[in-house]
């Protein structure tokens, strides 16, 4: 079935995919989505691609998306320090209510993540993300004119450059003022407010209003202070992993991570 070219936003899970979905939405529409549901409607991961869809998100490996990509499609791939990805993944499982916050439970989770070189829950269906090493190596090798690689850390340090690169790759004409507006609207402080406002509305209406306001996420936010938009910083793994965990995790990712210039 023929279809229009699609822009894919791809990353290993917890590498900044949702942050950049807000960025791309703002570049496309000149505004923030009215809700996370509107964001998910335009940038979803449901396959196959339907006629009329112009954007898709994915966490799949190159091989996992091979049958769904067409000539003319473009890919923005986000890569992030693997130990920060691990830390963010741990936070995410706690946020979803899938993991109790006790130290022994978290330590066992970290051990399993290190053995798999990624979250075991994401290896197969429906994510097809493989390990962090497999995912990143495949997309870095794929990088060409139709694949733009964005480093999470560089966009934190210089968000204007990151937004400008995305706009140019999307071929969306924007002024410097529009880029600045996008950067401001999609800062982590503003995204945290977006998340908190959605949760507040869900409490008021007594029903979830989107991805940030399920009963489990509201409960964890209230009881433990855990948020989807957590810190938006690099190096946060140092606050979570002990010295032994960090060393073992680095051993699992070092070959690929060092080739990208990451250090521990």
**What tens digit of pLDDT does each residue of 63-77 get?**
999 999 999 999 999
Average pLDDT of the chain to the nearest whole number = 93
Average pLDDT over residues 153-178: 96
**What tens digit of pLDDT does each residue of 213-242 get?**
888 888 878 877 777 887 677 898 999 999
Which residue intervals of 206-242 are DSSP H helices? 215-224
- pLDDT of the residue at 96: 79
**Domains, the chain, ranges and CATH?**
7-259 (3.40.50.300)
pLDDT exceeds cutoff 90 at 32: yes
Q: What is the pTM of this model?
A: 0.94
Average pLDDT over residues 25-54: 94
User: 178-191: buried (b, 16+ CB within 10 Å) or exposed (e) per residue?
Assistant: bbebbbebbbbeeb
Q: Tell me: cis bond preceding 48? Omega within 30 of 0 counts.
A: yes
- pLDDT of the residue at 5: 95
- pLDDT of the residue at 220: 77
Q: Which residue has the higher pLDDT, 126 or 253?
A: 253
Which residue intervals of the chain are DSSP H helices? 17-29, 36-42, 62-65, 82-95, 103-116, 132-142, 152-157, 159-170, 176-185, 188-205, 215-224, 243-259
Q: How confident is the model at residue 40 (pLDDT cuts 50, 70, 90)?
A: very high
- Pair 32, 80: CB distance under 8 Å: no
pLDDT exceeds cutoff 70 at 1: no
Q: Which two tokens stand for residue 53?
A: 């869809």
- pLDDT of the residue at 144: 81
**What tens digit of pLDDT does each residue of 127-138 get?**
899 999 999 999
CA distance linking residue 223 with residue 75, whole number of Å: 38
Q: How confident is the model at residue 195 (pLDDT cuts 50, 70, 90)?
A: very high
CA distance linking residue 113 with residue 99, whole number of Å: 13
**What tens digit of pLDDT does each residue of 69-113 get?**
999 999 999 999 999 999 999 988 888 777 888 899 999 999 999
- pLDDT of the residue at 137: 96
């Amino acid at each position: 079935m023929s279809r229009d070219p699609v822009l894919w936003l791809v990353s290993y899970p917890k590498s900044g995919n949702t942050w950049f979905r807000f960025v791309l939405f703002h570049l496309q529409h000149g505004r923030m989505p009215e809700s996370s549901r509107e964001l998910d409607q335009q940038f979803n991961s449901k396959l196959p691609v339907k006629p009329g869809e112009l954007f898709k998100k994915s966490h799949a490996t190159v091989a996992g998306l091979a049958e769904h990509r067409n000539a003319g499609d473009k890919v923005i791939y986000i890569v992030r320090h693997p130990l920060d990805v691990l830390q963010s993944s741990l936070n995410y499982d706690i946020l979803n209510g899938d993991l109790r916050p006790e130290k022994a439970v978290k330590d066992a989770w970290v051990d399993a993540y290190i053995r798999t070189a990624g979250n075991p829950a994401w290896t197969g269906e429906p994510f097809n993300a493989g390990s962090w090493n497999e995912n990143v190596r495949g997309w870095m090798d794929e990088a060409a004119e139709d694949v733009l690689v964005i480093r999470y850390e560089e966009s934190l340090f210089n968000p204007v450059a990151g937004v400008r690169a995305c706009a140019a790759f999307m071929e969306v004409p924007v002024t410097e003022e529009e880029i600045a507006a996008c950067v401001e609207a999609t800062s982590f402080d503003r995204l945290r407010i977006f998340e908190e406002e959605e949760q507040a509305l869900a409490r008021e209406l007594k029903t979830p209003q989107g991805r940030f306001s399920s009963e489990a996420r509201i409960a964890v936010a209230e009881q433990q202070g855990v948020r989807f938009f957590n810190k938006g910083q690099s190096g946060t793994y140092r606050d979570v992993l002990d010295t032994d965990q960090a060393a073992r995790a680095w051993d699992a990712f070092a070959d690929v991570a060092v080739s990208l210039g990451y250090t521990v």
